[in-house]
Amino acid sequence: MSDPTVPDQTLTDAAAARLPRMLADLQRLIEVETPSDDLAAVARGAEEVADLVEERLGQRPETIVVQGCTHLRLDLGPGPRKVVVLCHQDTVWPHGTLERLPFRADDGVVRGPGSFDMLTGLVMGIHAVALLAEDRRDGISLLVTGDEEIGSTSSRDLILETAAGTAGVLVLEASAPGGALKVGRKGGGIYTLRVTGRAAHAGLEPEKGISALLELAAQLPAITGLADPAAGTSVTPTRFSGGTTTNTVPGEATVAIDTRARTMAELERVDAGLRALRPTLDGAGLSLEGGINRPPLERPLAEGLLATYARVTRELDLPVPDAVEVGGCSDGNFTAGAGVPTLDGLGAVGDGAHAEHEHAVIAQIAPRTAVLAGLLAELLQTSD
């Protein structure tokens, strides 16, 4: 398969020639810290991404601010959208991480906050589009969101609107172990259970108090009992807090709850179970916030794109990666849940998402970028 911009080069050669530029672009993005909960930082990151896209593709993406969060979208060509390249540029890392985990490209890997999840994928997406001749990009939409790591609450509608009616969504999240593509993801729910009791002096009149902490402890078995490991359904209490001082019966307590399931039916069962919780102590109260955040990405929505990806990979004489189902969620859950063909895990090969050893394998960046460019060309041609 030839590169449309350089007829005497293969896509793999053209992508390999771009690798030094891709690494420089990756350093540029990593060195702008973008923790999801800092809207100003996310906006600064989006500005850097917009500059980079304009330099590499010759067009500046539209800046779209929703609920204070900055997202970018670039529609290429005058025709209707046909394929969406879906990325995010926010990360889980707090300000100051660069001081102890700076960008590095040595020993065959790239390191730095967001290197694996998912700034390498974002750079790959930009350069894959750049590998196509300008008159061969018509119908590609590049969407870069700024709140994926915290549930995509402001970008969900934008993602669905962008993907509606397209032939496919290509999600540049990092791969599964060994470079495997992600053809299935569990759906998820995000909840906070708030417990109210009555504060009282723990020494003078503890009997007048109603302990929100004891009520919360009583609720935990009911919460975790909603899990069904055999069905792949998890219900996990995570962050919790409560109380005020060491000598006060706690009048309030909260617990965050993470739910994951392979099917919407299971997510809805757990949701109903959480909403059915009732206090066990007289005078205590419960209030549940949140709900189902992302539907599952079910394998049938990925099969067609997977077959095309495998065919392009073989044409480029590259090894075809495995395809697996994983527990984590991504923005691809939204598009698959809406019935749009979606293939995920097309980005970096490496390890350490959200962990200190986060890294991307340099040797895999250019070949996977070449396959992505070939896949885009194939999808644009077949959707004409």
User: Which residue(s) pair with 106 in the sheet?
Assistant: 109
- Residue 185 and residue 236 in contact, taking contact as beta carbons nearer than 8 Å: no
Catalytically annotated residues? 90, 148
Q: State residue 252 phi and psi, 5-degree precision.
A: -145, 150
- Residue 273 and residue 226 in contact, taking contact as beta carbons nearer than 8 Å: yes
Q: Residue 267's CB: how many other CB atoms inside 10 A?
A: 24
User: Which residue(s) pair with 187 in the sheet?
Assistant: 261
Instruction: Indicate the pairing of strand 168-171 with strand 83-88.
Output: parallel
Q: Residue 99's CB: how many other CB atoms inside 10 A?
A: 8
Alpha helices in the chain (DSSP H): 11-30, 39-57, 97-100, 120-130, 156-163, 212-224, 264-275, 303-315, 332-337, 365-382
Angle at 355 (CA atoms; ends 123, 290), nearest 5 degrees:
90
Residue bearing tokens 């962050």: 239
Residue bearing tokens 């962008």: 162
